Amino acid sequence: MTKPIVVTGTDTGIGKTIFSAALTQALAATYWKPVQSGLEEETDTQAVIRLTGCKTLPETYRLQVPASPHFSAEAEDVLIDTESLALPQVDGSLVVEGAGGLMVPLTRETLYVDLFRKWQAPIVLCARTGLGTINHSLLSIEALRTRGCNLLGIVFIGEEVADSERTIAEYAGVKKLGRLPLLQQITPETIRTAFAENFRLEDFCLQNGENA
Kindly state the average pLDDT of the residues 31-45: 94
Task: Establish whether 33 is a catalytic residue.
Answer: yes
Segment 54-97, tens digit of pLDDT? 999 999 999 999 999 999 999 999 999 999 999 999 999 999 99
CA nearest to 96, candidates 33, 3, 22, 182: 33
Q: How far apart (Å, rounded) are the C-alpha atoms in residues 109 and 178? A: 34
Active site residue: 3, 33, 118, 175, which one? 33
CA nearest to 158, candidates 183, 123, 188: 183
Q: How far apart (Å, rounded) are the C-alpha atoms in residues 124 and 122? A: 7
Segment 133-149, tens digit of pLDDT? 999 999 999 999 999 99
Report the largest interatomic distance among the alpha carbons of the chain, rounded to a whole angstrom. 46
Contact 144, 115 (CB under 8 A): no
Give the pLDDT band of residue 207 (cuts 50, 70, 90): low
Q: Which DSSP letter does residue 107 get?
A: S
Q: How far apart (Å, rounded) are the C-alpha atoms in residues 145 and 187? A: 35
**How many residues are recorded in the chain?**
212
| Higher pLDDT, residue 41 or 106 | 106
CA nearest to 10, candidates 149, 162, 132, 177: 132
Question: Which domains does the chain carry?
Answer: 2-204 (3.40.50.300)
CA nearest to 110, candidates 89, 132, 131, 81: 81
